[in-house]
Structures are given as C-alpha cells and as structure tokens.
A = this chain, B = another copy of it.
Amino acid sequence: MTTTPSPVTIRATDGPGQPERTPQLESLYRQFESELLVPLWAEIGELMPAEPRSKALPHLWRWRNLMPMAEQAGSLVPVGRGGERRAIALANPGLGGRPFATPTLWAAIQYLKPHEDAPVHRHTQNAFRFVVEGEGVWTVVNGDPVAMRRGDFLPQAGWHWHGHHNRSDRPMAWIDGLDIPFQHYTDATFFEFGTDDVGTRETPERSRSERLWAHPGLRPLTHLTPTPATPLLAYRWEYTDRALSDQLALEAEGCTATVEPGHAAVRYTNPTTGGDVLPTLRTEFHRLAPDTATAAVREVGSSVFQVFDGTGEVTVGEARWTVERGDLFVVPSWTTLSLATDTGLDLFRFSDTPVFERLHLDRTYQEGPHA
C-alpha cells in the first residue's frame, strides 16, 4: 500500500492484562506490523503513565561556560542570511541531542559583535529576548527599534518582521526564548526572509511601542481591539524591579502581595487582555528576599529559568545546584522545583503553561505540610 518500509515492531511484554505469548499471537503481531498497526496493550505503560514522566532531564548550564563559547562563535561564525542568527541553543540531555531545552521550549544565547546586523525575517514561532547583561543592541520589530539593556524583557510575537543592529563598539549577548520545539513537533512552522538590512539605524531610548503602550492602565484609542500577543515590545527593568520591591515592602506592612513569605513575583502580560504576553509562552520574574526558601511545587508543563542576580540553591527533582548570575536551568513537566537563598535571588522564568491552560490540561501540586 505504501512504498515506505514498515518500521513497526511490536514490543510484546508480560504482566497483568497482557496476552499469553503464543505462536498465534506472534503471527498476529507480524500482521499488525505489516499493516502499520500497534496494539494499545503493548504500549499503555509508556503512553498512559499514572503521571507525566518527561524524557527531559533537569539540567543546568553555567553562564561562565556559555559566554566564552559565544565569544568564540563571534569570531568564527557570520551572522548573515542563511544562518540568520548567531544563537547557540541548550540541548536537554534527555532529548536525543536535539536543540530543545524541553519538549516545547527553545532557549539560546545570542551574540552580536560591534556594529553587526542580524538580517530581517519572520516566523510563526513566538519569541522573546531577555538581557542578563550588556546593552548597545536595538532589536527592530516591524520597523520599530527597541533598545535592549540589562533586565529588559522584549517579547516579539509570531509573524512579526524583526532584525537586530548593534550600534555600539562592544559586543552584546542575551538569551532568546521561543516555542520552536512545540511548533516543530506539531507541524505549525512558517518562515519568511525579509530584507538583509534592518532598515533603520535609529537608536531611540524608548521604542514607539513603549510610547504607545507603557503607561499603566492607559490604552490608546487608536488600538482598542485585543491582540493575541502583546503590542508592548519592551518591559523595562526599572518597572520590574520596582514592582518586586513594592511587593516585598507591602508584605512587610502585612498586606497580601507575595506568593509566599519573601517571594515576590510578577507576570509579564498583554495590556490588551491582561493575559500572557505570548499565546504559547508564559514569562515571569521572581525575587527571593535573603533567607527565603520556597515551597516545593510541581506543574504540568516545563520551564526554563535564568538567574538574573544573587545566588541560591535550586532543587529540581533529584538534581541540586548552587546557582549564580546568568546560569540557566530547566524544570521538566511535573518535576518538583524548590528554591532557597541566603543572599537574595532574582530569577527570570519562562514556560509553556499557556498551552496547557488554553487546552484545560494544566495542573499544579504544591507539596508541604499544608498542601
């Protein structure tokens, strides 16, 4: 029926509910294989576990190891059309060598040399940049140049044209987050080349999107229709920092403002809906005051964290690391996460949770005496 050789091999197993392995059964299995059929009873253990068992593993990448390699790539690898970006992706050790931080999430360090441009393209993948250090690059989204500086979060929704230009005399690196693995697996990816030139050399302090949108609770009358992704292209560090400080101060005054004692957190949101900034990606910033430990939590869906400042102890499933500025780690689905710090810890986080919430598959479990 098909010219593709059948790759099916039935894994006969023993155990409760499994059929007796007779010659007739083996014969039937050979028929299944030739007809491209697989019985549920031979696969149910793996396909329908009692709870998610991700192939992805907890893993930590050290910023102090990543940066020198990014610099080397700067001297060896061009950034023009074809390669598109000098981006180096985290490859989860459980995912067969693919450049996937988790089954759904892409995380990479991107590096741009002084006076270098990254050419314009667009793709259906939702993307963002987060800056752990440096400045001097403007990302140009649909013609709007957006400055990138330490602590800034810069979302960029699917199918928006975008390039970058570095107008400074110093290189700059940042992290990119995207839903590449999700869209790749589900076959939803479109990509289109734009101009090689980013089209503008402007270096404004504030982008046009910020001048339209970065006023708390105020919406321009020209833009009243809700959009699936945020129209605000930069969430500046000064606001994030202040929001977190305010939460900890409110907590000290006895108000409900923190997730748990000493743990402040904000979610980046789309001002046209109040919901997540991008349809497939959730992004948050967490601040732990000195001498804080979080509850242990498990969630459906996977996350990537980057340490923005401070130091702390991170426990993900069986893994335990001491982390510092720039370090990146992944939390696979339904794997327990807890954080602790003596000195204080600032963390950026992104996850695929909107996928599960929109499909009513989200679930959270908080461990502890009162859970």
Residues in B whose Cβ lies below 8 Å from that of A295: none
Q: For A39, give the chain B residue with the smallest CB separation.
A: B88
Closest 4 CB pairs of A and B: A17-B82, A41-B83, A187-B333, A17-B83
Q: For A319, give the chain B residue with the smallest CB separation.
A: B2
Cβ–Cβ contact B214 & A217, under 8 A: yes
The stretch of A51-59, A307-315, A336-344 that contacts the partner chain: A51-59
Residues in B whose Cβ lies below 8 Å from that of A265: 220-221
Cβ–Cβ contact B218 & A269, under 8 A: yes
Cβ–Cβ contact A217 & B232, under 8 A: yes
Q: For A76, give the chain B residue with the smallest CB separation.
A: B25
Residues in B whose Cβ lies below 8 Å from that of A360: 158, 228-229, 279
Cβ–Cβ contact B356 & A358, under 8 A: no
Given contacts A84-B41, A89-B39, contact A187 B73 (CB under 8 A): no
Contact with B along A266-307 (1 / 0, CB 8 A): 111111111001011000100000000000000011100000
Q: Among the interface residues A8, A213, A301, which one has the most CB atoms of the partner chain B within 10 A?
A: A8
For the complex, give the distance between the alpha carbons of A192 and B49 in Å: 9
CB distance from A205 to the nearest CB of B (A): 12
Q: Is the interface of A mostly helix, strand, loop or mixed?
A: loop
Residues in B whose Cβ lies below 8 Å from that of A49: 189, 191
For the complex, give the distance between the alpha carbons of A87 and B47 in Å: 13
Cβ–Cβ contact B41 & A77, under 8 A: yes
Residues in B whose Cβ lies below 8 Å from that of A2: 57, 59, 93
Cβ–Cβ contact A334 & B187, under 8 A: yes
Within 8 A of B (CB), among A60-96: 60-62, 65-66, 69, 72-73, 76-78, 80-94, 96
For the complex, give the distance between the alpha carbons of A72 and B39 in Å: 12
Within 8 Å of chain B (Cβ to Cβ): is A16? yes
Given contacts A39-B73, A69-B37, A266-B221, contact A216 B187 (CB under 8 A): no
Cβ–Cβ contact A361 & B158, under 8 A: yes
Within 8 Å of chain B (Cβ to Cβ): is A346? no
Residues in B whose Cβ lies below 8 Å from that of A84: 17, 40-41, 44, 48
A273: contacting residue among B15, B103, B273, CB under 8 A: B273
Given contacts A35-B69, A271-B216, contact A40 B99 (CB under 8 A): yes
CB distance from A309 to the nearest CB of B (A): 18
Residues in B whose Cβ lies below 8 Å from that of A28: 69, 72-73, 76
A88: contacting residue among B40, B54, B77, B108, CB under 8 A: B40
A38: contacting residue among B32, B91, B211, CB under 8 A: B91
Within 8 Å of chain B (Cβ to Cβ): is A359? yes
Given contacts A22-B76, A124-B361, A250-B212, contact A37 B52 (CB under 8 A): no
CB distance from A22 to the nearest CB of B (A): 7
Given contacts A57-B2, A239-B215, contact A48 B82 (CB under 8 A): no
Within 8 Å of chain B (Cβ to Cβ): is A134? no
For the complex, give the distance between the alpha carbons of A271 and B158 in Å: 23
Give me 9 other A-B pairs in contact (C-beta within 8 A), A51-B190, A103-B185 excluded: A17-B84, A31-B69, A36-B92, A182-B186, A186-B352, A211-B246, A217-B268, A220-B266, A221-B284
CB distance from A262 to the nearest CB of B (A): 14
Cβ–Cβ contact B180 & A19, under 8 A: no
Residues in B whose Cβ lies below 8 Å from that of A31: 69, 72
Cβ–Cβ contact A272 & B271, under 8 A: no
